Amino acid sequence: DGVCDFLDPDIDGDGHPNDDDHYPLDSSEWADTDGDGVGDNADAFPSNPNEWSDTDEDGVGDNSDAFPNDSNETLDTDEDGVGDNADAFPSDQNEWSDTDGDGIGDNSDAFPNEANEWSDLDGDGVGDNTDTFPTNPLEWIDTDGDGFGDNSDAFPMDGGEWLDTDGDGVGNNADAYPLDSSKWEEDPDYAMIGVVVALAMIGVLAYTRQRHD
């Protein structure tokens, strides 16, 4: 402006006298209300000495914004790297997603895509809620409800049988000879002989008692 700088009352020509200009050599700034070293015009938070920039324009200063470049996130309470807004478990550092919406985080959910299952104690691939034998990795269903799993039940559709020791196709409970695969029923002739013998013994006992009387 034709006046020597040391004599010019407004060196940067911003309309603010040098004595009142916090930035006398910067025409774009003249005040620093919060004293953070960043002029009010460039300071996104002119009254907050701890903040001056808001890169993602979410209203939270970059210094306190856990995600300064993501306008959808500002906090990460559990510090798991996933913002609270997107984190299904914002207070659990080990979980952040629950794909099936069952309330159990995907990381600990044995069945993250199945809302009805989340645990598999015996590791057999069948969830505990549907596994009839949740602690037995060799069994998971009991079709006939006899207490014996289908995998080990020789008769999975028959609630009255589960073993066939001699492998003759007749269950031990109905097999008169469970250790002999060549037979499974009592011989009717032998059965009749047994009846006759029993009756004879009864007759003898009755006769003997009568004589004593």
Residue 160: per-residue pLDDT: 97
Residue 213: per-residue pLDDT: 66
**Is 132 within 8 Å of 146 (Cβ atoms)?**
no
**Is 45 within 8 Å of 35 (Cβ atoms)?**
no
* Region label for 93, one of left (φ > 0), alpha (ψ between -120 and 50) or beta (otherwise): alpha
Residue 193: per-residue pLDDT: 64
pLDDT higher than threshold 70 for residue 5: no
CA atoms within 13 A on the CB side of 43: 20
CB count in 10 Å sphere of residue 92: 15
Categorize the per-residue pLDDT at 212 as very low, low, confident or very high, splitting at 50, 70 and 90. confident
Residue 187: per-residue pLDDT: 61
User: How many Å apart are CA 17 and CA 37, to the nearest integer?
Assistant: 19
Residue of 101, 100, 74 lying closest to 85 (CA atoms)? 74
Categorize the per-residue pLDDT at 201 as very low, low, confident or very high, splitting at 50, 70 and 90. confident
**Is 103 within 8 Å of 94 (Cβ atoms)?**
no
What is the rounded average pLDDT for all residues in the chain?
91
Q: In the predicted model, what is the mean pLDDT of residues 111-118?
A: 99
Q: In the predicted model, what is the mean pLDDT of residues 104-117?
A: 99
Residue 2: per-residue pLDDT: 52
pLDDT digits (tens, 9 = 90+) for 68-101: 999 999 999 999 999 999 999 999 999 999 999 9
Domains of the chain by residue range: 136-182, 186-213
pLDDT higher than threshold 80 for residue 189: no
pLDDT digits (tens, 9 = 90+) for 16-74: 998 888 898 888 989 989 999 999 999 999 999 999 999 999 999 999 999 999 999 99
Categorize the per-residue pLDDT at 164 as very low, low, confident or very high, splitting at 50, 70 and 90. very high
CB count in 10 Å sphere of residue 202: 10
